[in-house]
């Protein structure tokens, strides 16, 4: 019984501290409008891009980033995995391709675009060297 309660507490704690990454642009705009936030759009190659993986591990999963994101941003991810080292077939109607055509025509990875609730670009950046998550969050807030 104690083990079950302990596991339940861990699962609830994890759910409370996780962040929601959307993949649908229209849903992100609706949420940004409703919550009066900006949209932080991240282009990533989650399974092949070393710098994308570094951001995932050392930034996106930190308490510092999660706290700031909860207050300021709706998180939107355009992922381009290469399962088994091969790019997936291109579907020009897929949301990640639509976002790329509009915001990342040069195909940079990782690439971060800050948008207003209407989808207008407020700032852009690629990977930047950082020592702490706070340092990167501060840079993102200045976009």
For the chain, what is the mean pLDDT?
Answer: 89
Strands 73-79 and 121-125, sheet pairing: unpaired
Distance CA 6, CA 13 (A): 11
The pLDDT value recorded for residue 46 is 94
pLDDT-derived band at 18, boundaries 50, 70, 90: low
Cβ neighbours of 12 (radius 10 Å): 10
- Annotate 21-70 with DSSP letters as a single string: EE--HHHHHHHHHHHT-EEEEEEE-TTT-HHHHHHIIIIITSHHHHHHHH
The pLDDT value recorded for residue 72 is 97
The pLDDT value recorded for residue 9 is 45
Q: Which of 36-45, 72-81, 89-98, 125-134 has the lowest mean pLDDT?
A: 89-98
* Listed residue (32, 19, 26) closest to 95, CA to CA: 26
Distance CA 37, CA 116 (A): 8
The pLDDT value recorded for residue 62 is 97
Length of the chain: 143
Distance of CA 67 to the CA centre of its chain: 14
* Listed residue (76, 71, 45, 54) closest to 141, CA to CA: 71
The pLDDT value recorded for residue 19 is 80
Whether 116 has a pLDDT exceeding 60, the answer reads yes
pLDDT-derived band at 15, boundaries 50, 70, 90: very low
What mean pLDDT is predicted for residues 109-124? 98
Q: What is the pTM of this model?
A: 0.85
* 117 or 92, greater pLDDT: 117
pLDDT digits (tens, 9 = 90+) for 54-78: 999 999 999 999 999 999 999 999 9
User: For residues 84-112, b (16+ Cβ closer than 10 Å) or e, as one string?
Assistant: eeeeeeeeeeebbeebbeebbeeeebbbb
Q: Which residues lie across from 123 on neighbouring strands?
A: 114
């Amino acid at each position: 019984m104690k083990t079950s309660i302990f596991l339940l507490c861990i699962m609830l704690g994890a759910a409370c501290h996780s962040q929601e990454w959307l993949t649908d642009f229209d849903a992100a705009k609706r949420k940004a409008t409703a919550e009066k936030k900006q949209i932080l759009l991240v282009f990533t190659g989650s399974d092949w891009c070393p710098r994308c993986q570094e951001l995932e591990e050392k930034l996106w999963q930190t308490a510092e980033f999660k706290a700031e994101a909860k207050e300021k941003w709706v998180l939107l991810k355009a992922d381009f995995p290469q399962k088994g080292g091969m790019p997936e077939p291109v579907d020009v109607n897929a949301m990640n391709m639509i976002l790329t055509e509009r915001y990342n025509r040069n195909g940079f990875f990782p690439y971060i675009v800050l948008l207003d609730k209407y989808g207008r670009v407020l700032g852009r950046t690629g990977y930047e060297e950082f020592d702490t998550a706070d340092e990167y969050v501060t840079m993102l807030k200045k976009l």
